[in-house]
Amino acid sequence: MLPGLLTADPTRFVEVAGRRLTHPELLGAAAQVAADLEGKNRVAVLATMTLETVVGVVGALLAGVSVVPVPPDSGTRELEHFLTDAAPDAWLASAGDDTLPLISVDVDARAPFVEKQVGQDDVAFVLYTSGTTGLPKGVLMSRRSVQAGLDGLAAAWDWTGDDTVAHGLPLFHVHGLILGCLGPLRLGGNVVHVAKGTPEAYASAADPEREGGPATMYFAVPTIWSRLVERPELLSQLSNARLLVSGSAALPVPVFDKVREITGLEPVERYGMSETLITVATRADGHPQAGWVGIPIEGVETRLVDENDAPVVHDGESVGNLQVRGATTFDGYLNRPDATAEATTPDGWFRTGDVAVIAPDGRHRIVGRESVDLIKSAGWRIGAGEIESTLLGHPAVAECAVVGEPDADLGQRIVAHVVLREGFTGSDDLATELVALVGSELSAHKRPREVRWATGLPRNEMGKVQKKRLLP
């Protein structure tokens, strides 16, 4: 699963928060973990941003033991659910509570690596993902799917063992753990986890004097890129990178434009979720465009359908429900055959729950979630996300949320809730200007019927806007 690590090249390394192991050292420490896991089936990993987490996960994978990454800030009820639902045999590296035995990880330990025959269809990870209701569901991700996802991205991004990936992403989800750590190890490259996603930390990975050289690829979420553009003297230090990657949410157009202006590089975006890993990505040799996440990677197919499962035309404008199938998709939800069946079509496609448009050349644009971001107005199917991206391009707009409110004539009317930047005041003239901006950059039928000024937007504990609280 990690052939690049097994070459044990002493010039390659993994670094987390300034602590470093060469590949031979990592392999030796992970081999000791694998030996300690003899007889275990599944372990929970409190996914702190530490070298112990990385060594523990790698050791479990070498041993053929499935991993349940647990967010370090999990609440009592959520933690109890993870442990009851997944039923791990032990905590690995560090404990989230005292209900399970702890298997410690010693990063200084060294043991000979003994290869174990592991089935490619065996579960590598149980990734918990939150839905709109109920407790998180455990996504069963096989070793085969993880490998297919990483190999597909390697092909799309010309990603090789010569690359050094730098990021400061959490280690309990796909972006930070699978892409950001296992990806380089599969290819034989370097990992620099800067521990905190600050502009200073990212710039530190670009230091040409650092041991092993500067990073060539940077992974970040839009929040980090937004903070970097506010520190142009630091962002400019990333100018010598080969690839800047943004994911986990849409990158606002103004941020994309500023990154390009400051670094001379256009960020590439990608799309995926816990159930599918990364399915769509802008290629390294492609033409990045803000808001567009690229084309399907090797081994993946996508399609757009309407509410009756009829095909939606790929014209770059028509909105449909996005469905995915291919080598990277999951094997179902743990202990939830009902949820698995609900998420899967009779002909084997996964219902992502996202709405999107696909251009004639195959490029995808995600415009929101079907449950809250698909607006049906006057016979049109409209994605709230593309309206929000356009509004964020106006210098007065700090943040916004677009919703569809019930309307006797239109079915739903488009309403934009807008938070203004400091120095701007809400007025009828500004509202008219924002509506006109949407009409000029998108289509007339996508213009908000009303703009409402807000001092802030309702968010959950993860920082995501709760649009249902904006509806009447």
Print burial letters for 387-409: b (CB count within 10 Å at least 16), e (below 16).
bbbbbbbbebbebbbbbbbeeee
CATH of domain 378-470: 3.30.300.30
In tens, the pLDDT along 228-277 reads: 999 999 999 999 999 999 998 788 888 999 999 999 999 999 999 999 99
List pLDDT tens digits, range 92-104: 999 999 999 999 9
Rounded to whole angstroms, the Cα distance separating 441 from 139 reads 39
Residues above pLDDT 70, as percent of the chain? 98
pLDDT in tens, 32-82: 999 999 999 999 999 999 999 999 999 999 999 999 999 998 888 889 999
196-225 pLDDT, tens digit per residue, is 899 999 999 999 999 999 999 999 988 899
What pTM did the predictor assign? 0.86
CA–CA dist 172, 82 (Å, integer): 13
* Cβ–Cβ < 8 Å for 372, 353: no
Helix (H) or strand (E) run with residue 191 in it: strand 190-193
Rounded (10°) CA dihedral 32, 33, 36, 38: -110
Q: Where in the chain is the domain with CATH 3.40.50.12780?
A: 3-365
**In Å, how far are 377, 382, 435, 442 from 407, measured between CA atoms?**
9, 15, 18, 22
Whether the per-residue pLDDT at 370 is higher than 60: the answer is yes
Quote the DSSP letter at residue 429: H
Which of 406, 416, 414 minimizes the C-alpha distance to 457? 416
CA distances to 60, 143, 256, 344 from 90, in Å = 12, 21, 43, 32
The answer to whether residue 428 scores a pLDDT higher than 80 is: yes
**Contact in structure between 247 and 226 (CB atoms under 8 Å):** no
Nearest to 42 by CA among 328, 334, 272: 334
In the chain, CATH 3.30.300.30 sits at 378-470
Please state which architecture CATH assigns to domain 3-365: 3-Layer(aba) Sandwich (3.40)
